[in-house]
Amino acid sequence: MAMLTTLSAQMRQYWVVTGNYWAFTLTDGALRMLVVLYFYGLGYSPLNIAMLFLFYEIFGVITNLVGGVLGARIGLNKTMNIGLFLQIAALAMLLVPTDMLSLVWVMSAQALSGIAKDLNKMSAKSSIKLLVPADANGQLYRWVAILTGSKNALKGVGFFMGGALLSLLGFQLAVLTMALALVLVWVFSLVSLKADLGKAKHKPKFTDILSKSPAINRLSAARLFLFGARDVWFVVALPVYLTANLGWDHWSVGSFLAVWVMGYGLIQGLAPRITGMSHGQLPNGKMAASWAAILTAVPFLLALALIADFHARTILLIGLMLFGALFAINSSLHSYLIVNYASDDGVSLDVGFYYMANALGRLIGTLLSGWVYQTSGLAACLVISGLFTGVAAIISLKLPRQ
């Protein structure tokens, strides 16, 4: 708190937004791992586990569309705080006795969590556009990379925390611990965020939701396929494969996914250096297409190794780390481009539309992850991942080159 008082007003708001986003991300990652591992242990099939996240992703799609308008009308501080409160409510829903944790009840709690997550993310990403001077694109790229990279690193910590809490405390006590911690963050956020942050000068109508520039439409389509390519093997297929085929326990699965996401977040934070910003190279459409094309080869090669059973375990684990590094750079490029493309007035409208596509990609990937793994195995999930990244690369060829 003392350190915050010595910073400029813009920097104080940036770190309040970032800290808020960090705390939310820890609970979001931990909750996802808790749900996957706990309900797999109860005997749920991979497809049923994927269904637990169905409402999470569906309501994420809706929330990003509606939340963009809401943020422009009432302010991003309010949408961020509403997101935190809804996550607390979602955690509270899971504190009922174990025999009440039916498929429909857990799906409903996950729906609330999906709304909370995307309100929080849309608010955080939109806020950065308003806290950076209009002509400071290099600074904008760095701030977006720091926010996005640190968030994903902490999501990895959340995966580890979820596996660890499940092993140490059990499901309900783990959920209660996270809920109480998030209440403290919510109270701090209520008194710290600027009251008019992100309010548009004109009140947008809900008909403005789909009125986007060609660049934003294309970037959103590429984002949809990019995140579908990750989640088709990541959400359900990989944790279940590690448990069922390799015999890993909860600690091991949580630790591997945590390291994967933490490394992914670290690379995202370093993306400005990796992509040549120190030499004056800011992201553009050509760069986004090139990095997506490079990523496309990795899941196809991993699928071949599994099918041929050629050092499958070693190649899979190393290859998925490589996928994470390349995916992180692609994601960081996209995150900068949407903030750069977005209009200054009502920025949340454009960012919300883009993250709607992001959520739709996750939804498609999640459903395919459970269904394709159950019917055809992990190799088939990786083939679909390669096809999706290829489509993202083709779409990115039409993004602006300047």
Whether 351 and 342 have beta carbons less than 8 Å apart is answered as: yes
Structural domain includes residue 2:
no
Structure confidence at residue 201 (pLDDT): 57
* Packed helices 103-131 and 76-93: angle between N→C axes, nearest 10 degrees: 160
pLDDT for position 221: 93
pLDDT at 2 over 60: no
The set of residues, in sequence order, having a beta carbon less than 8 Å from that of 380 and lying 6+ positions away, is 303, 372, 373
Q: How many domains does the chain have?
A: 1
* Res. 272: pLDDT tops 70: yes
Position 401 in a domain: no
pLDDT tens-digit map of 237-264: 888 888 888 888 877 887 788 788 888 8
**182 part of a folded domain:** yes
333-382 pLDDT, tens digit each? 998 888 888 776 666 677 778 888 888 898 899 889 888 998 999 999 99
- Residue 396's pLDDT band, with cuts at 50, 70 and 90, is very high
For residue 321, is it within any domain?
yes
Average pLDDT on 104-115 reads 85
Q: Residue 376's domain spans which residues? A: 10-193+205-396
Query: Which amino acid type is present at position 402?
Result: Q
Distance of alpha carbon 226 from alpha carbon 323, whole angstroms: 12
**Does 198 map to a domain?**
no
* Residue 111 in domain: yes
200 located within any domain: no
Burial level of 217, CB count in 10 A (0-12/13-18/19+)?
middle
Output the pTM of the full model. 0.77
Is residue 402 domain-resident? no
Please name the residue that has the structure tokens 């993250």: 355
Which segment of 125-134, 161-170, 235-244, 373-382 scores lowest on mean pLDDT?
125-134
For 37-58, b where at least 16 C-beta lie within 10 A, e where not — what string?
bbbbeeebebbbbbbbbbbbbb
pLDDT digits 0-9 by tens, 47-79: 777 777 777 778 878 887 777 667 667 777 788
Report the CATH number at residue 221: 1.20.1250.20
Residue carrying structure tokens 């809401």: 70
- Contact present, 219 and 341 (Cβ < 8 Å): yes
